[in-house]
Amino acid sequence: MMKKLYYSIGEVSDLTGVEAHVLRYWETIFDNLSPKKNRSGNRNYSDEDLTLIFRLKELIHEKKYSTAGAKKFLEEENSHQPANSSGLSAEVRRDLEELRSFLSTLSEKI
């Protein structure tokens, strides 16, 4: 199965268990949650958006942070990341590392 580049708000809601109206509300609070919109104005969520939504769900629904508390927590967490941190999810970093290894092997054969 091929991984999708973008997900609709309905798909994101199904995947994360967060209702669409909550996702739209979170967009107004969390600056780094800003899905692209297509020509008809529908939201297109990326894998990075999904990673953030799962993190927000953990903080707000499971750890019982307020939205303001979750925003402050994420800001502090991001300020403590090393300067060379890419901000990519672990899954994306792993995929990139596999791709780098494949390309390296391929270039040796050429």
Q: Which domains does the chain have, with CATH numbers?
A: 9-109 (1.10.1660.10)
Residue 23 tokens, joined: 């996702």
**Rounded Cα–Cα distance for residues 24 and 26 (Å):** 5
Q: What is the pLDDT of residue 84?
A: 45
- Give 100's contacts (C-beta < 8 A, 6+ positions apart): none
Spatial separation of the C-alpha atoms in residues 76 and 94, rounded to whole Å: 25
What angle (nearest 5°) sits at the alpha carbon of residue 44, between those of residues 38 and 49?
145
Task: End-to-end CA distance of the chain: give it in Å, rounded.
Answer: 29
- What is the model's pLDDT at position 98? 78
pTM value > 0.75: no
- Give the residues of the chain that fall short of pLDDT 70: 1-2, 81-90, 94
Report the alpha-carbon angle 72-78-82, nearest 5. Answer: 155
